[in-house]
Protein backbone atom coordinates (compact mmCIF):
# COMPACT_ATOMS: atom_id res chain seq x y z
CA UNK A 1 0.00 0.00 0.00
CA UNK A 2 1.24 3.47 -0.86
CA UNK A 3 2.17 5.81 1.99
CA UNK A 4 -0.43 8.35 3.06
CA UNK A 5 -0.18 11.74 1.42
CA UNK A 6 -0.33 14.88 3.53
CA UNK A 7 -3.29 17.19 2.78
CA UNK A 8 -0.98 19.97 1.65
CA UNK A 9 1.01 17.78 -0.76
CA UNK A 10 0.25 18.19 -4.47
CA UNK A 11 -1.88 15.55 -6.17
CA UNK A 12 -0.10 12.92 -8.26
CA UNK A 13 0.17 13.71 -11.96
CA UNK A 14 -2.30 10.95 -12.93
CA UNK A 15 -5.25 12.46 -11.05
CA UNK A 16 -8.28 13.59 -13.06
CA UNK A 17 -8.25 17.10 -11.59
CA UNK A 18 -11.00 19.65 -11.24
CA UNK A 19 -10.79 20.56 -14.92
CA UNK A 20 -12.57 17.41 -16.11
CA UNK A 21 -16.10 18.84 -15.75
CA UNK A 22 -15.04 22.03 -17.51
CA UNK A 23 -13.42 20.06 -20.33
CA UNK A 24 -16.61 17.98 -20.68
CA UNK A 25 -18.74 21.11 -20.81
CA UNK A 26 -16.55 22.79 -23.41
CA UNK A 27 -16.26 19.64 -25.54
CA UNK A 28 -20.05 19.17 -25.59
CA UNK A 29 -20.55 22.84 -26.46
CA UNK A 30 -17.99 22.66 -29.27
CA UNK A 31 -19.74 19.57 -30.64
CA UNK A 32 -22.96 21.56 -30.91
CA UNK A 33 -24.82 20.66 -27.73
CA UNK A 34 -27.30 23.16 -26.33
CA UNK A 35 -26.35 24.95 -23.12
CA UNK A 36 -28.45 22.67 -20.85
CA UNK A 37 -27.09 19.53 -22.54
CA UNK A 38 -23.52 20.84 -22.31
CA UNK A 39 -24.09 21.52 -18.62
CA UNK A 40 -25.31 17.94 -18.20
CA UNK A 41 -22.16 16.69 -19.94
CA UNK A 42 -20.08 18.66 -17.45
CA UNK A 43 -22.11 17.21 -14.59
CA UNK A 44 -21.59 13.68 -15.91
CA UNK A 45 -17.84 14.33 -15.92
CA UNK A 46 -18.14 15.62 -12.34
CA UNK A 47 -19.99 12.45 -11.30
CA UNK A 48 -17.28 10.30 -12.88
CA UNK A 49 -14.69 12.33 -10.99
CA UNK A 50 -16.63 11.87 -7.73
CA UNK A 51 -16.67 8.11 -8.26
CA UNK A 52 -12.93 8.04 -8.93
CA UNK A 53 -12.19 10.10 -5.84
CA UNK A 54 -14.58 7.93 -3.79
CA UNK A 55 -12.71 4.85 -4.96
CA UNK A 56 -9.36 6.48 -4.14
CA UNK A 57 -10.65 7.45 -0.69
CA UNK A 58 -11.67 3.84 -0.11
CA UNK A 59 -8.19 2.67 -1.09
CA UNK A 60 -6.58 5.24 1.20
CA UNK A 61 -8.83 4.14 4.07
CA UNK A 62 -7.87 0.52 3.53
CA UNK A 63 -11.34 -0.61 2.51
CA UNK A 64 -11.73 -3.82 0.54
CA UNK A 65 -14.41 -5.41 -1.60
CA UNK A 66 -18.00 -4.49 -0.83
CA UNK A 67 -17.07 -1.59 1.46
CA UNK A 68 -15.02 0.09 -1.24
CA UNK A 69 -17.73 -0.46 -3.86
CA UNK A 70 -20.30 0.96 -1.41
CA UNK A 71 -18.19 4.09 -0.89
CA UNK A 72 -17.76 4.67 -4.63
CA UNK A 73 -21.49 3.98 -5.16
CA UNK A 74 -22.40 6.52 -2.48
CA UNK A 75 -20.31 9.11 -4.33
CA UNK A 76 -22.12 8.20 -7.57
CA UNK A 77 -25.51 8.57 -5.88
CA UNK A 78 -24.55 12.02 -4.58
CA UNK A 79 -23.55 13.00 -8.11
CA UNK A 80 -26.81 11.72 -9.57
CA UNK A 81 -28.73 13.68 -6.91
CA UNK A 82 -26.80 16.77 -8.06
CA UNK A 83 -27.90 16.18 -11.67
CA UNK A 84 -31.49 15.51 -10.62
CA UNK A 85 -31.63 18.69 -8.55
CA UNK A 86 -30.22 20.69 -11.45
CA UNK A 87 -32.86 19.31 -13.81
CA UNK A 88 -35.74 19.69 -11.36
CA UNK A 89 -34.89 23.09 -9.94
CA UNK A 90 -33.49 24.87 -12.98
CA UNK A 91 -35.50 23.27 -15.77
CA UNK A 92 -38.85 22.23 -14.32
CA UNK A 93 -39.44 24.97 -11.76
CA UNK A 94 -38.39 27.94 -13.88
**Predicted local confidence at residue 13, as pLDDT:** 45
d(CA 38, CA 28): 5
- Model confidence at 5, pLDDT cuts 50, 70, 90, reads low
**Predicted local confidence at residue 77, as pLDDT:** 95
Contact 68, 59 (CB under 8 A): yes
Report pTM: 0.71
29-87 residue pLDDT tens: 899 999 888 888 888 999 999 999 999 999 999 999 999 999 999 999 999 998 888 88
Contact 72, 51 (CB under 8 A): yes
Terminal Cα distance for the chain, rounded: 49
Helix (H, G, I), strand (E, B) or coil at 21: helix
Amino acid sequence: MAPARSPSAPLPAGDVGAGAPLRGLIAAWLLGASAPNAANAGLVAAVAELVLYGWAAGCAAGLKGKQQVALASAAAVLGLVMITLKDVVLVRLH
